[in-house]
């Protein structure tokens, strides 16, 4: 029987993206690397558990779920969560940020100061700027001020979430750095001028951080398709063109295909055999635009 691994997700260590596997092994994802894996045939996708604990039921989860958690584990994972607004007594200082994903796509959010820019890398923010720094509840109130402000919400469209489907479609046609940072600077200035900011939140002067080169977006071709789910017996193979947030942009035999690595969790994955696996994609793919071994046990997939 072929050796199998379980992926725990894509992580950004500093500015280097890596796939992380159960047991702690990491697979760096530099541009040009071949990524090839198969889903164990005859198996199913199981819940990844919550907050470091395995799912007691090993419940099955849908292939299209990016969370890979059953209903009970999803509930437990969101308990005491800053993102879910269920953990209000975190003593750590927080940043309020503005993140830019494309023209007209700026969102507001908060992240612990100690995490640095990790949250922005995880979300696929092409560039971002800090707005303020202070206690959690002050940061949360400032975030709510921005969301509620009619001018900013309606005219500048500053939500707290932007779907990944919208982010990934823009990555191949982004404006230059000056235009990216210019739009972000305009929103930043108007945000700091709003009334109602908590006194305990320290404003932060505008300074943009750009991830365009970190993600490898220079010269990125448009996506032909997006993997909608993995399936037992399916294969994904391609060469890394870019990595942004949880997304791998891969050059494959069927064009440029984007794989949201969150879809990999919960499956048993293995190294496929046979010719053609290196650039094969035999899992369901949603089209996004028209277009005229040796023996022994491997120590990793790639």
pLDDT digits (tens, 9 = 90+) for 223-265: 999 999 999 999 999 999 999 999 999 999 999 999 999 999 9
Residues 6+ apart with CB under 8 A from 117: 128, 209
Is the whole-model pTM more than 0.95? no
Proportion of the chain above pLDDT 90, given as a percent: 64
Q: What is the pLDDT of residue 302?
A: 42
Share of the chain above pLDDT 70, in %: 86
Question: How many Å apart are CA 101 and CA 276, to the nearest integer?
Answer: 35
Report pLDDT digits (tens) over 67-82: 999 999 999 988 766 5
Contact (CB, 8 A) for 222 and 289: yes
pLDDT for residue 79: 76
Looking at every residue in the chain, the average pLDDT score rounds to 86
Residue matched to tokens 């947030």: 245
pLDDT tens profile 29-88: 999 999 999 999 988 999 999 988 899 999 999 999 999 999 999 999 887 665 545 455
pLDDT tens-digit readout, 97-117 = 999 999 988 888 999 999 999
Helix (H) or strand (E) holding 169: helix 164-170
List, edge to edge, every strand of the sheet that includes 225-227.
269-270, 34-39, 235-244, 247-252, 255-260, 225-227, 285-287
Residue 293 in this model has a pLDDT that exceeds 50? no
């Amino acid at each position: 029987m072929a050796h199998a691994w379980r992926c725990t997700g894509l992580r950004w260590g500093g500015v280097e993206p890596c796939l992380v596997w159960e047991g702690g092994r990491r697979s760096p994802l530099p541009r040009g690397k071949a990524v090839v894996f198969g889903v164990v045939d005859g198996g199913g996708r199981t819940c990844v558990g919550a907050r470091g604990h395995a799912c007691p039921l090993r419940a099955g989860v849908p292939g299209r779920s990016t969370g890979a958690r059953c209903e009970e584990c999803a509930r437990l994972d969101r308990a005491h969560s800053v993102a879910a607004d269920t953990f209000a007594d975190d003593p750590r200082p927080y940043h309020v940020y503005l993140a830019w994903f494309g023209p007209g796509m700026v969102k507001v959010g908060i992240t612990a100061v100690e995490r640095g820019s990790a949250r922005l890398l995880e979300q696929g923010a092409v560039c971002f700027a800090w707005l303020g720094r202070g206690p959690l509840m002050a940061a949360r109130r400032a975030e709510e001020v921005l969301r509620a402000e009619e001018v900013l919400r309606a005219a500048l469209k500053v939500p707290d979430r932007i779907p990944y489907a919208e982010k990934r479609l823009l990555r191949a046609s982004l404006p230059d750095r000056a235009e990216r940072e210019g739009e972000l600077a305009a929103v930043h200035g108007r945000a700091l001028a709003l009334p109602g900011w908590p006194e305990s939140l320290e404003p932060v002067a505008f300074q943009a951080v750009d991830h365009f080169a970190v993600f490898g977006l220079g010269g990125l071709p448009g996506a032909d398709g997006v993997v909608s789910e993995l399936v037992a017996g399916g294969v994904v193979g391609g060469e890394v063109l870019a990595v942004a947030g949880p997304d791998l942009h891969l050059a494959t035999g069927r064009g440029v295909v984007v794989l949201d690595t969150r879809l990999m969790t919960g499956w048993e994955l293995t190294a496929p055999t046979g010719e053609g696996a290196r650039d094969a994609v035999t899992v369901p793919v949603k089209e996004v635009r028209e277009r005229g071994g040796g023996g022994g046990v491997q120590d990793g997939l790639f």
